[in-house]
């Protein structure tokens, strides 16, 4: 999926939202870019004390997201990188993490930002990692999407004055 057609998102009054970022650890250089992009986005939004936890691989992201969604966070952001190898493992991990994070979000009502790159090659992943020379910044995008959604949901659940 390319970034063509992505919206310009903005949000007011998000600085009091509680946000947790969960990051897998496979493919360190790409992950560093995603985590830095996510923290930069949170800083831009005035959220300077996010929770950041690490899990071993992307397959572990959904269970961690569910745990944090149940602990009062307004938004959770999941970051990971899955690179296609020569085995079906790629498909299983991608399917597990995608369905798992969707399920957590819908079941808990807590927006889960999807910052999981599923790529054929490491070069493709680096191009989306928000590092020097990248064309996309998926960690930043995932935080912005989750926080904008959380702020929007809060605005419709508050009584009108």
Q: Which long-range contacts (CB under 8 A, 24 or more apart) does 8-16 make?
A: 9/144, 9/145, 9/148, 10/148, 11/45, 11/144, 11/147, 11/148, 11/151, 11/152, 12/151, 13/151, 14/45, 14/46, 14/47, 14/147, 14/148, 14/150, 14/151, 15/45, 15/46, 15/47
89 catalytically annotated: yes
> How is 39-62 classified by DSSP, letter by letter?
HHHHHHTT----EEEE-SSGGGHH
Are 47 and 15 within 8 A, CB to CB? yes
Q: Does 7 bind ligand DLZ (CB under 6 A)?
A: no
* Between 58 and 105, CB nearer to ligand DLZ: 58
| Residue ranges at the known binding site | 26, 58-60, 81-83, 86-87, 114, 128
Find the part of the chain contacting ligand DLZ (CB under 6 A) among 36-44, 74-82, 103-111, 142-150: 74-82
Considering the complex, state which of residue 58 and residue 144 has its C-beta at the smaller distance from ligand DLZ: 58
Which of 59, 114, 126, 139: binder of ligand DLZ (CB under 6 A)?
59
Closest residue to ligand DLZ, based on beta-carbon distance: 57
Please give the size of the binding site for ligand DLZ, defined by CB under 6 A.
14
Q: Nearer to ligand DLZ by C-beta: 39 or 93?
A: 93
> Catalytic residue numbers?
89
Residues in contact with ligand DLZ by CB under 6 A are: 24, 26, 56-60, 80-83, 85, 89, 93
């Amino acid at each position: 999926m390319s970034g063509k057609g992505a919206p310009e998102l903005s949000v007011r009054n998000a600085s009091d939202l509680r946000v947790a970022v969960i990051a897998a650890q496979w493919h360190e250089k790409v992950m560093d870019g995603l985590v830095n992009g996510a923290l930069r986005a949170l800083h831009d939004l005035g959220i300077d004390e996010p929770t950041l936890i690490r899990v071993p691989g992307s397959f572990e992201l959904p269970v961690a997201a569910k745990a944090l969604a149940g602990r009062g966070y307004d938004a959770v952001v999941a970051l990971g990188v899955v690179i296609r190898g020569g085995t079906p493992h790629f498909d299983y991990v991608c399917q597990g993490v995608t369905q798992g994070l969707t399920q957590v979000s819908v079941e808990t009502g807590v927006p889960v930002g999807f910052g999981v790159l599923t790529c054929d090659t490491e070069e493709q992943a680096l191009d989306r990692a928000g590092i020097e020379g990248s064309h996309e910044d998926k960690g930043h995008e995932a935080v912005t999407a989750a926080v904008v959604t959380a702020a929007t949901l809060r605005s419709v659940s508050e009584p009108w004055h």
